[in-house]
Amino acid sequence: MNNLVVLPLLFPLCTAIILFFFKEKVRIQRAAGAAGMGATLLACGLLLAQVLRSGTQTLNMGGWMPPYGIVFVADPFAALLAAAATLVSSFCLLYAFGTVGKERERFYFYPFFHLLLAGVNGSFLTGDLFNLFVCFEVMLISSYALLVLGGTKIQIRETIKYVLVNIISSTLFVAAVAYLYGVAGTLNMADLSVKVAAAGQGGILNVIAVFFLVVFSLKAGLFLFFWLPGSYSAPPMAVAALFGALLTKVGLYALVRTFTLVFPNDPAITHVWIGWMAGATMALGAAGALAYRNLLSVLNYNIVISIGFIAFGLSVSNRPALEGVVFYLLHDMAAKALLFLLAGLILQARGTDKAARLGGLIRSQPWIGWMFFTAALAIAGIPPLSGFGGKLLLVKGGLQGDSFVLTAISLASSLIVLYTLIRLFMDVFFGEAKEQPAAAAVPLRGHVVLAGALCAIVVLMGLGSEWIYQAASAAAGTLSDPSKYIEAVLKEPV
């Protein structure tokens, strides 16, 4: 029992509720929002330190023993992801100051932002399947609001599609929960793990596992990513950075959690499916990234590629691959957020995202240029930077698990990531602009410094791989051995 476990959910929730009362007072909204974010960050950091020091922490809501009550579980994987998500969203929040515009800020931008964070942290920390659904909905409904806020034509059009896809996937989620409850009679994940393992996960349970695979793939953009490129190019860049860094990662977290904890018993069926979906995601994402020359489309398809990459690690599911999954998830949150913030700065400086109209930006914005270069190398996985450790572990896991085809696809997709991002870098920063853009403003110095801080984190994550690896290894330890999780949740009260 440890009340700290719920604070990463509670702080953003309370901040959002307080912020609803200060509609017109943008300065108060910013200050209180930043303070709430700082408190959440502190809580996540303390929780992470505690989890890494003394093992998985649980909190039984209302004192009801699991499996009867809702339990919040902070194992190393969940605590790491919650901390990383909060850190990344604090950067997005600071970037939103001064870029989203007064109109949006006065219409509850910050409350929705914090509610989204509450949903994300809740999804990471919950130990109950239906509570996961509710946290997903908290996150998704805030994301609908953030996506449509401002009400431009493109936003309305893309929000309709995004809402429709997510209503359907949420409906399927409830249906999957219904089937699983009908078979197993419980919704607590640890208890489910015990019951599914006892039943041997044949026949109907495999069907339910694939059902969950479809649901979470729709959320994560694994193979079923048709909605992603359009939706993510509509909102302002602070929101796009938040979405690109967090939303699909929550779907991936749910995939990793269900297929390492609840349904790990028949990998010949489920994990092979995940493997082929991951391979197809990497290949199709690479095709999309190659096909487009405008900034946002290339970045969106790069999100898709990295989703496939992480799912490839899940499909192999041996120890190094799971370590790679954790490591790469952490890196990808930070690096994708950095890339989107830089894209936002480029848009501010040039007022267009068509690569043909950009060009020569290195002369006026050298800092943004070299940070973009660093981020591109980090995402491609060049050794001193943060993407390398995760990719190395994933490839090692893939080779140990004898999935040579998928490993080859993942390496080839890394090459394409490098090619597309460097092509973008050359297009945007070198050469001459073909036509002068109409509207252009100089990005604020503070925002460049902000991106610089995030860039420093990405570089330090690479240089300090040893420490990150230790944490990732602890997380992979609980992932590869569900009995630790079960023991932590279902233990007798002390």
Site residues (CB under 8 A) for another protein? 130, 133-134, 137, 141, 144, 148, 151, 153-154, 156-157, 159-161, 163-164, 167-168, 170-171, 174-175, 177-179, 181-182, 187
Of the pair 179, 370, the CB lying nearest another protein is at 179
Dihedral sign for Cα atoms in the order 268, 270, 274, 277 = positive
Nearest CB to another protein, comparing residues 133 and 425: 133
Residue 489 Cβ vs another protein, minimum distance, rounded to whole Å: 18
Compute the distance between CA of residue 256 and CA of residue 149 in angstroms, rounded to an integer: 32
> At closest approach, how far in Å is the CB of 229 from another protein?
11
Alpha-carbon torsion (452, 382, 41, 246), positive or negative: positive
CB of 65 to another protein, least distance (A): 16
Which residue from 346, 342, 416 is spatially nearest to 381, judged by alpha carbons?
416
Q: How far is the CB of 141 from another protein (least distance, A)?
A: 7
442 DSSP 8-state letter: P
Nearest Cα neighbor of 98 from 345, 350, 455, 362 is 345
Closer to another protein by CB, 171 or 364: give it. 171
Tell me whether residue 365 is exposed, middle or buried, using C-beta atoms within 10 angstroms of its C-beta: 0 to 12, 13 to 18, 19 or more: buried
Q: How far is the CB of 230 from another protein (least distance, A)?
A: 8
What's the closest the beta carbon of residue 101 comes to another protein, in angstroms?
18
Which CB sits closer to another protein, 144 or 373? 144
Q: Which is nearer to another protein, 229 or 308 (CB)?
A: 229
Contact present, 398 and 316 (Cβ < 8 Å): yes
Length, in residues, of the chain: 494
Give the nearest distance from C-beta 356 to another protein in angstroms. Answer: 15
Measured from the CB atom, the residue of 75 and 128 that comes closer to another protein is: 128
Provide the minimum distance between the beta carbon of 231 and another protein in the complex, in angstroms, as a whole number: 13
User: Which C-beta is closer to another protein: that of 31 or that of 178?
Assistant: 178
User: Which residues does 174 contact at the CB level (< 8 Å), separation at least 6?
Assistant: 133
> Which lies closer to another protein via its Cβ, residue 39 or residue 141?
141
Residue 68 or 276: the one with the smaller Cβ distance to another protein is 68
Short-list 133, 113, 111, 112, CA closest to 123: 133
Angle, CA 283 vertex, CA 278 and CA 288 arms, to 5°: 120
Least distance in angstroms from the C-beta of 237 to another protein = 17
CA–CA distances in Å: residue 389 to residues 195, 382, 394, 435:
36, 9, 9, 41
Residue 274's closest CA among 289, 287, 286, 263?
A: 263
Question: What does each C-alpha distance from 289 to 139, 229, 387 come to in angstroms?
Answer: 27, 10, 18
């991951």: which residue's tokens?
A: 278
Amino acid at 100: V
**Residue 358 phi, psi (nearest 5):** -85, -165
